[in-house]
Chain A
Amino acid sequence: MVKGFNGVIARVNLSTGEIKKEKLNEEWVRLFIGGRGYGGKIIYDEVDAKVAPFAPQNKVVIATGPTAASNAPAGGRTMIITKGALNGTLACSNVGGFFGPEFKKAGYDMVIIEGKSPKPVYLWINDGTIEIRDAQKLWGKKPDQIEEAVKSETDPKARVMTIGPAGVKLSRIAAVMFDLNRAAGRTGVGAVLGSKNFLGIAVRGTKKVEIADPAGLKEANSQARKLLKEASIPGEALPTYGTSVLVNIMNEIGGYPVKNHQDAYFPTAGQTGGEAIAEKILIKKGACAACPIACGRITEIREGKYKGEHGEGPEFETTWSLGVMCGIDDLNAITKGNYLCNEYGLDTISAGVTIACAMELYERGYIPEKDVPFPMRFGDAEAMIKMVRLMGDREGIIGDLLAEGSYRLAEHYGHAELSMSAKKQEVPAYDPRAVKGIGLHYATSNRGGCHVRGYTVGPEVLGWPMQLDRLTYEGKAGLAKMFQDFTAVVDSSSMCLFTFFGMPNMSDYSPILRAITGIPYTDEELLKAGERIWNLERLWNLKAGFTKKDDTLPPRLLKEPIASGASQGEICELDKMLPEYYKLRGWDEEGIPTKEKLNELDLETPL
């Protein structure tokens, strides 16, 4: 029997209240590893790709992988897999915190949520038992109020995942919050939970998960921790300055999007970087379960209007999206905006990019004054904060539209081209005009605009694990594919992508996965599993109606040269990379996986 799992998946039908236990499919563990890969296979098999994200027929898989509760470094992540609310892709949002190991120790590997509850409920999972509990009094409350109430109703040591007011109001950019401040942010997974009248899960677990080779795992974990300690990024840069240490380098290379990508350099961006955070607002570092890196920032605003408020963040992406993307360099305001997003349960990337989109629409006169309660101009920090509130509350005409994300907002006003999104999901803080490979990844990412599923920024900007030229196109197709397949493995294992900054080879992960599961995975088999997961997600998206036309970027990034800074004049010529990418993937010219490729990956031909 495969080890490192409980061998049990819970299936909860919210429509009927039925709770079942099912056996883990061991063959699927070999083929799809766990977490994102395994959960994706469940959705692929069980949910009609054409179903509406908010239909009761959509399902949600909350999944861990083999490394959760194994003490593998940063190996406790949880994944939420579903048909995403933002764009209808086979969505997966990945989160740290402490929920994953607790869930696994409660005796389950995953839970499948089906149907729609007639009234708001949450699940209480307590060392093997599962109860559906009433959540009517908690519906629409903030995560901190929910966590406190749920812990008092269940166990003070319970770990809690919950949607906030944004999920309840079906905002398509709603996150699911874990341990208060960690977010499964992307793709609108929070709204899918909201559509099912499902608040979240409280879990308590004290069981041990059996490991195939405990001595081997101890040695493999120890080796991995050594790599992470000795490597400069996870050993020094991330713990000292957090993820926002990237602000300055992205700005210096002229690849840090400004005012809805109207530029890519902001002279005072450094005022919001990791160094400034460490100096002005940092209280202490924060680490997720079993994580030796501790990139989290526990912060407090120490001056100005929001003095005394405290919370977690901002991370790099939030520093940017609520910052210079909106023309703002006020760190306190950005931090306040971040706290608010956490309180509403909003994805900070999509929230900030949507606000930036609204600011441009307003400044260009595309949003009539009657639709807005105040001017929405770039650089106005107070406007940004008020817009987060409007978005979270869906207040008024503009609040209702902001909650839908930038694409629907811009489309409503007749200018969809001003949504900085790929497959309707807002693209992150690396401008593809200045970093070509990440543009290819944004365009081809299975869940829409996203950086973490194919982080070519490592070699293109940071020189890790090798240095490539960010402005050339040659070799970027292979680079994107390699990172996408590699990351599918890391995600599906439950490990954090940041381990890659010290563990750049599959051979750094495979001893851990072999020791935990007892499956004699080779490095090649694991990378093949990553490729299989990527192709499965692609097949789902094709079935859902996505085509080659959706593998693209906003026209601004393809045609409008960067206005100033070190990458002035650059555009992203996607056509120079996409055909080669399809070819390397074993897809035809329309981006459809060939029969040969699917056979090679043990995937059926569904089309």
Chain B
Amino acid sequence: MQVRPDDIMKIKVKFFATFKEAFGAEEREVEFEGRRSVLDLLNSLCDSVERRQVLFEGCAKLKPYVKVLKNGRLIEHLDGIDTQLVEGDLIAVFPPVGGG
């Protein structure tokens, strides 16, 4: 799906476990104009130093084991943090989780 620069797209973002507390909600909807990446999205959501520290360890580098899924696929297996978004994408952000 092609995105034109002036298109408005809506992206749904879900936060889980400890990230739900850090970002104050389990689910948010974000509106963007034009072409955006996962990095743009997460940057826009990190609206305080505290929130930024939750996810990032550098300008464009996520902390180890922060898991970001685009429509159920880890972004590592797409284009990483530069993965492009399109209207209707669902982004899920997880802290390290495990169990069995």
Contacts A252-B69, A463-B65 given: A275-B16 contact, CB under 8 Å? yes
Q: A252 vs B92: C-alpha distance in the bound complex, in angstroms?
A: 8
Binds A, one of B3-11, B35-43, B71-79: B71-79
Q: A254 vs B20: C-alpha distance in the bound complex, in angstroms?
A: 20
Q: Which residue of A lies closest to B63 (CB)?
A: A232
Interchain CB contact under 8 A, A567 and B72 = yes
Contacts A236-B18, A252-B14, A275-B16 given: A566-B97 contact, CB under 8 Å? no
Return chain B residues, CB-CB under 8 Å to A452: 100
Interchain CB contact under 8 A, A248 and B94 = yes
Q: Which of A238, A253, A315, A566 sits near B98, CB closer than 8 Å? A: A238
Return chain B residues, CB-CB under 8 Å to A243: 99-100
Contact with A along B51-77 (1 / 0, CB 8 A): 000000000000001010101111011
Q: A237 vs B26: C-alpha distance in the bound complex, in angstroms?
A: 17
Q: Please tell me if A58 contacts chain B, counting CB pairs below 8 Å.
A: no
Q: Please tell me if A32 contacts chain B, counting CB pairs below 8 Å.
A: no
Q: Which of A307-359 contact B (CB under 8 A)?
A: 315-317
Return chain B residues, CB-CB under 8 Å to A498: 98-100
Contacts A249-B16, A274-B17 given: A238-B99 contact, CB under 8 Å? yes
Contact with A along B74-100 (1 / 0, CB 8 A): 101100000000000000101111111
Q: Which residue of B lies closest to A243 (CB)?
A: B99
Contacts A232-B65, A248-B16, A275-B17 given: A237-B97 contact, CB under 8 Å? yes
Return chain A residues, CB-CB under 8 Å to B14: 252
Q: Which residue of A lies closest to B99 (CB)?
A: A243
Q: Please tell me if A497 contacts chain B, counting CB pairs below 8 Å.
A: yes
Return chain A residues, CB-CB under 8 Å to B71: 566
Interchain CB contact under 8 A, A249 and B100 = no
Contact with B along A457-483 (1 / 0, CB 8 A): 110001110010111000000000000
CB distance from B55 to the nearest CB of A (A): 13
Q: Please tell me if A501 contacts chain B, counting CB pairs below 8 Å.
A: yes
Return chain A residues, CB-CB under 8 Å to B76: 463, 467
Q: Which of B65, B73, B77, B95 sits near A464, CB closer than 8 Å? A: B65
Q: A49 vs B71: C-alpha distance in the bound complex, in angstroms?
A: 48
Q: Please tell me if A576 contacts chain B, counting CB pairs below 8 Å.
A: no
Return chain B residues, CB-CB under 8 Å to A406: none
Q: Which of B26, B65, B72 has the most CB of A within 10 A?
A: B72
Interchain CB contact under 8 A, A246 and B72 = no
CB distance from A118 to the nearest CB of B (A): 40
Q: Which of A197-255 contact B (CB under 8 A)?
A: 231-234, 236-238, 240-246, 248-249, 252-254
Interchain CB contact under 8 A, B97 and A249 = yes
Q: Which of B76, B77, B96 has the most CB of A within 10 A?
A: B96
Interchain CB contact under 8 A, B96 and A236 = yes
Return chain A residues, CB-CB under 8 Å to B99: 237-238, 242-246, 274, 295, 315-316, 498
Q: Which residue of A lies closest to B27 (CB)?
A: A270
Interchain CB contact under 8 A, A245 and B72 = no
Q: Please tell me if A451 contacts chain B, counting CB pairs below 8 Å.
A: yes
Return chain B residues, CB-CB under 8 Å to A579: none
Q: A316 vs B99: C-alpha distance in the bound complex, in angstroms?
A: 7
Interchain CB contact under 8 A, B97 and A245 = yes
Q: A396 vs B29: C-alpha distance in the bound complex, in angstroms?
A: 52
Q: Which of A243, A244, A248, A316 has the most CB of B within 10 A?
A: A248
Return chain B residues, CB-CB under 8 Å to A232: 65, 95-96
Q: Which residue of B lies closest to A457 (CB)?
A: B100
Return chain B residues, CB-CB under 8 Å to A237: 17-18, 95-99
Q: Which residue of B lies closest to A237 (CB)?
A: B97
Return chain B residues, CB-CB under 8 Å to A238: 98-99
Interchain CB contact under 8 A, B20 and A249 = no
Return chain B residues, CB-CB under 8 Å to A244: 99
Interchain CB contact under 8 A, B17 and A241 = yes
Q: A462 vs B74: C-alpha distance in the bound complex, in angstroms?
A: 10
Q: Which residue of B lies closest to A458 (CB)?
A: B98
Contacts A232-B65, A236-B18 given: A497-B98 contact, CB under 8 Å? no
Interchain CB contact under 8 A, B18 and A316 = no
Q: A464 vs B95: C-alpha distance in the bound complex, in angstroms?
A: 12
Interchain CB contact under 8 A, A249 and B67 = yes
Contact with B along A561-599 (1 / 0, CB 8 A): 000011100000000000000000000000000000000
Q: Please tell me if A455 contacts chain B, counting CB pairs below 8 Å.
A: yes
Q: A501 vs B99: C-alpha distance in the bound complex, in angstroms?
A: 9
Q: A606 vs B94: C-alpha distance in the bound complex, in angstroms?
A: 49
CB distance from B38 to the nearest CB of A (A): 15
Contacts A236-B18, A274-B17, A275-B17 given: A252-B97 contact, CB under 8 Å? no
Interchain CB contact under 8 A, A246 and B98 = yes
Interchain CB contact under 8 A, A462 and B100 = no
CB distance from B70 to the nearest CB of A (A): 9
Q: Which of B14, B26, B72, B98 has the most CB of A within 10 A?
A: B98
Q: Which residue of A lies closest to B76 (CB)?
A: A467
Q: Which of B26, B92, B98 sits near A462, CB closer than 8 Å? A: B98
Return chain A residues, CB-CB under 8 Å to B94: 248-249, 252
Q: Which residue of A lies closest to B74 (CB)?
A: A467
A-B complex: 9 closest residue pairs judged by Cβ atoms: A566-B72, A243-B99, A232-B96, A233-B98, A246-B99, A252-B92, A245-B97, A316-B99, A469-B77
Sample (28) of A-B pairs whose CB atoms are under 8 Å apart: A231-B96, A236-B95, A237-B98, A240-B17, A240-B18, A244-B99, A245-B97, A245-B98, A246-B97, A249-B67, A249-B92, A252-B14, A252-B69, A252-B94, A254-B72, A270-B26, A274-B17, A275-B17, A455-B100, A463-B65, A464-B65, A464-B96, A464-B98, A467-B74, A467-B76, A497-B100, A498-B98, A498-B99
Known: A275-B20, A464-B65. 13 other contacts (CB 8 A): A231-B96, A236-B95, A248-B94, A249-B67, A249-B97, A457-B100, A458-B98, A467-B76, A497-B100, A498-B98, A498-B99, A498-B100, A566-B71
